[in-house]
Amino acid sequence: MTDDQPISPRDEADTEVARDRQPVAGITPERPVVVIGGGPAGLTAGYLLAKQGLPVIVLESTDQVGGIARTEVRDGYRFDLGGHRFFTKVKEVDDLWHEIMKEEFLKRPRKSRIYYNNKFFEYPLDGMDVIRKLGPVELVRCFVSYLWAAIKPKGREDTFEQWVSNRFGKRLFTIFFKTYSEKLWGVPTSEIRSEFAAQRIKGLSFFSAAKSAFFGNKGNKIKSLISEFNYPRYGPGQMWEQMTEDIRAHGGEVRLNAPVTRLRIDGGRVVELVAGGETLTPSHVISSLPLRTTVGITEPEAPLEVRDAARGLRYRDYLTVALVVPESRSFPDNWIYIHQPGVQVLRIQNFKSWSPWMVPEGETASSIGMEYFCFEGDDLWNMRDDDLVTMAGQEIEKLHLAEAAKVRFGFVERVHKAYPIYDERYAERVATIRSWLETIANIAQVGRNGLHRYNNSDHSMLTAMRAVDNILLGTNHDIWAVNAESVYHEEHQDNEEPYRNPPSTPAMEQPLASER
């Protein structure tokens, strides 16, 4: 087996053999691998280790697995926290999804729209639809703005606003990016770093968008424009619940309500951790804790500059207001992006369009998710649940999608530290924390908050796969350089090794994104 090969799948017989072999990398029942976090990254690591018959304990601080990708259930209606389509070009991840879900993994068509200027625009963009709804005057303005952006010197591209305007023109940026992005991040687009644009919309240019609008996105070449995706029958939570069952079936542990409160470090290793009041002695630690949290619970304390860097990391928090509305007043989209000023909702999901099994059998109603972004402690975050449900009903009516008076019931779910913020100093701060973490031999940070990188579930799972490879195979994969987004658009890149060439932007030419 070469260094770059993933762990080979094993059947039950192979697993039983693995249980009887010699300890791997010092892993014993007394010194198991401890995985912190029961989201996509943590569960992936736990599953791969348990499948090899190795002692592993996954620690989840809440009473439910899945993290931000979990599925909430009320009165038989199912709601995602956000919407989680399952699409990747990383074969390892796709194989694992199908291995876990089997026939429960459905192929679903994509239907999404943008709401702007009191009109619904098909997304991916449809050329004639855009022409009809923007009108000739606005179209001319957009095209002239694009031409000016194409011929003028590009200049600096430090910010999201500069990066997008240079590729689409200022007018299209204002219409289709500015309002949405500022609702998402809570700061002007002039303060959002260009790395966010390079990672999330890389590969989508004016001409590729126009080509897709008139001729289609054949072969799903542009990830943000894919026309279909996989989805678990009962929502993404089904994936993580099944993975939890499989970990336990292979002899591993998944402990709920077990927050980690201390990491004791001695001799350059984590020698002890405390979770749910119990002390564990790990051989290795794979952590998806937010970097700020990891630094904050170590003993002895991290150096002052590391603590300062951790305190400086910022996060965007999130809440979803789940509503049940009559089916006659629902809409066919999986989700709708709200670019309209005057409402606070950013995106609206119709989960019955994701899967018919997201509502109870025979019910003529739809489960709707109204997504709001905020900072913990601000007015929106602190609003009473009943008031949030009322506001969401009023906003969905204002957008002509349902009537507030017809909402059957609603509830609110809040998510702390949902999105790491790419502000002006985040790369410098992450690099400082990373340098310190690299002095601790047996800990690996994985996942979205574990690396302070805004990634999807497939990227998070890939970081966990590489961390497990490093433990079991002795490889030296740079987890910080794993970036599944790059594989979607870099035609020269090997799909099996997306971590080799992370997106290159000026601010990422630092140790944060380099391979060591």
pLDDT digits (tens, 9 = 90+) for 450-501: 999 988 889 899 999 999 999 999 999 999 988 634 333 333 333 333 333 3
Largest CA-CA distance found in the chain, in angstroms, rounded? 73
Average pLDDT over residues 105-129: 84
Separation of CA 186 from chain center: 18
Return the minimum-mean-pLDDT range out of 201-205, 294-298, 325-329, 445-449: 201-205
Q: What is the pLDDT of residue 487?
A: 36
Task: Give the C-alpha separation, 311 to 130, whole Å.
Answer: 44
Average pLDDT over residues 24-47: 95
To the nearest 10°, report the CA torsion of 339, 185, 506, 313.
-170
Return the minimum-mean-pLDDT range out of 26-40, 50-64, 415-429: 415-429
Separation of CA 56 from chain center: 24
Average pLDDT over residues 278-298: 97
Q: What is the pLDDT of residue 201?
A: 54
Q: Which residues pair with residue 336 across a beta bridge? A: 113, 348
Helices (H) and strands (E) in the chain, counts: 19, 20
Task: Give the C-alpha separation, 158 to 110, whole Å.
Answer: 33
Task: Give the C-alpha separation, 48 to 69, whole Å.
Answer: 19
3-state secondary structure of 63: coil
3-state secondary structure of 265: strand
Q: Beta-carbon neighbour count of residue 113 at 10 Å? A: 20
Cα–Cα distances in angstroms (integers) from residue 21 to residues 16, 28, 52, 88, 115, in the given order: 9, 11, 10, 34, 58
Report the amino acid identity of residue 103.
E
3-state secondary structure of 405: helix
If phi over 0 gives left and psi between -120 and 50 gives alpha, with beta otherwise, what is residue 505? beta
Task: Give the C-alpha separation, 84 to 79, whole Å.
Answer: 11
Q: Beta-carbon neighbour count of residue 170 at 10 Å? A: 18
Task: Give the C-alpha separation, 248 to 225, whole Å.
Answer: 37
Q: What's 155's DSSP letter?
A: -
The pLDDT-based confidence of 198 (bands split at 50, 70, 90) is low
Whose tokens are 């201390």? That residue is 262
The pLDDT-based confidence of 196 (bands split at 50, 70, 90) is low
Task: Give the C-alpha separation, 399 to 342, whole Å.
Answer: 10
Higher pLDDT, 166 or 375: 375
Element (H, E) at 450: helix 448-451
Tokens of 269: 């290793």
To the nearest 10°, report the CA torsion of 141, 147, 151, 152.
20
Return the minimum-mean-pLDDT range out of 231-235, 291-295, 501-505: 501-505
Tokens of 62: 């809440």
Cα–Cα distances in angstroms (integers) from residue 413 to residues 80, 320, 326, in the given order: 10, 5, 21
Share of the chain above pLDDT 90, in %: 57
Higher pLDDT, 18 or 289: 289
Task: Give the C-alpha separation, 365 to 324, whole Å.
Answer: 7
Tokens of 453: 């990188």
Whose tokens are 């606070």? That residue is 344
- Helices 236-249, 40-51: inter-axial angle, 10-degree rounding: 30
The answer to whether the beta carbons of residues 448 and 457 sit under 8 Å apart is: no
Strands across the sheet containing 269-275: 278-280, 269-275, 260-266, 298-299
Tokens of 158: 């430090």
Task: Give the C-alpha separation, 116 to 213, whole Å.
Answer: 17
CA atoms within 13 A on the CB side of 52: 25
* Length of the chain (residues): 516
Task: Give the C-alpha separation, 206 to 228, whole Å.
Answer: 22
Tokens of 340: 């309209």
Task: Give the C-alpha separation, 381 to 390, whole Å.
Answer: 15
Q: Beta-carbon neighbour count of residue 301 at 10 Å? A: 12
What's the mean per-residue pLDDT of the chain? 83
Complete DSSP assignment for 380-444: HHHS-HHHHHHHHHHHHHHTTSS-GGG--EEEEEEEEEEEE---TTHHHHHHHHHHHHTTSTTEE
Average pLDDT over residues 271-297: 97
Domains identified in the chain and CATH numbers: 25-67+235-313+424-513 (3.50.50.60), 68-89+314-420 (3.90.660.20), 125-226 (no CATH)
Q: What is the pLDDT of residue 149?
A: 84
Q: What is the pLDDT of residue 142?
A: 85
Q: What is the pLDDT of residue 407?
A: 94
Q: What is the pLDDT of residue 323?
A: 96
